[in-house]
A = this chain, B = another copy of it.
């Protein structure tokens, strides 16, 4: 934990898929590419078992808002609700503290 830690933001996206996942992986990959090009993007991690978790990191709430409204992303969101997701939850969070372990 660093004393000069500067808060940033995370978006926790948790989801359960439908049985129709056609086109999903391609779109997910494309969205990750697009997110990385956004201003204020800091990083992203994804994993899926029964539940899928994608956490993205952003410099500001404004960067998150801009990404939410980006045109390709809006199309992906719509397709997601129509075809791929049975359920999802989005949480916007402020990262207040952080620490890391590295095997030495």
A contact residues, total (Cβ < 8 Å): 34
Q: Is A79 an interface residue (CB 8 A)?
A: no
Write the nearest CB–CB distance from A80 to chain B, whole angstroms.
Answer: 8
| Complex contact A18–B53 (CB within 8 A) | no
A90: contacting residue among B90, B98, B103, CB under 8 A: B98
Q: State the CA gap A96–B93 with chains docked (Å).
A: 5
A interface, CB within 8 angstroms of B = 10, 12, 14, 18, 45-53, 55, 81, 85-103
Of all A-B residue pairs in the complex, the 10 with the closest CB atoms, nearest first, are: A93-B93, A47-B47, A92-B97, A47-B49, A53-B53, A94-B94, A89-B100, A47-B53, A91-B98, A86-B103
